[in-house]
Structure 1
Amino acid sequence: MSLYERLYDESEKAKVRFVGFVSEQGRYDFGIVYTHMFFGKPLVVCMQTGRSSLLSLEDAENLEYLQKVFNLRSMEEAEEISIFFKNNLPTITIDAETEH
């Protein structure tokens, strides 16, 4: 008898973008993984802390959520990150297999 029930086991070629930037509040380094999984939400990884989240444009507008998930020091920092994500997250699913 299996100790677990497999929910999914998928492989795909994913597009990954690494972005580093500096603002008035600090330095940020993110990896953004575009995938067909998770209803088209990209996986965003903070390269400094290892914290990650699936983020949609709607999620990027929620400053409290951004502050909590990325362990940001202030709401001003969350606002800067929100602006970055709103300008850099896709509005539609990116076709990770055809874009290089």
Structure 2
Amino acid sequence: MSERFFLYDEKDTTTTRFVSFAGEHARYDLALMQTDRYYGKRIVMNLQGRRYAIIGRDDLDEPGYIEYAFDLSEEEAQELKEFLYEVI
């Protein structure tokens, strides 16, 4: 077996918030992780949909990004964006 080549291997302290809420179009079970990495952006994980994205306010304004990242309809993405605008 060849030697493993790491690009990086670091530990970081994170703050994780678990949130579950029901919108008009879907239920959202999320984990929002804050770390010193990623230039102040949050790691947002959809626990039921098994998708995640690194999101900052600039990403929320990017047309179609939330729909693509979490495989959501336009209506579902709008509900998620409204919540994320409050916490990011």
Same fold (TM over 0.5): yes
**For 1:1-12, what aligned pairs fall within 5 Å after superposition?**
2-4=3-5, 6-12=6-12
Runs of 4+ in 1 over 3 A off after TM superposition: none
| Structure with more relative contact order (C-alpha pairs < 8 Å, separation 6 or more) | 1
Q: CA RMSD in A?
A: 1.5
Q: Where does the alignment leave 5 or more consecutive residues of structure 2 unmatched? A: none
Q: 1:26-83, CA deviations, whole angstroms, 9 ceiling, x for partnerless residues?
A: 10010001001122211110010110010001112234110111011x2111111111
Aligned to 1:13: 13
> Which structure has the highest strand share of the two?
2
Q: Counterparts of 1:46 and 1:59 in 2: how far apart (Å)?
A: 16
Q: TM-score, normalised by structure 1?
A: 0.78
Cα distance change of structure 1 residues 65 and 47 upon mapping to structure 2, 3 Å threshold = same
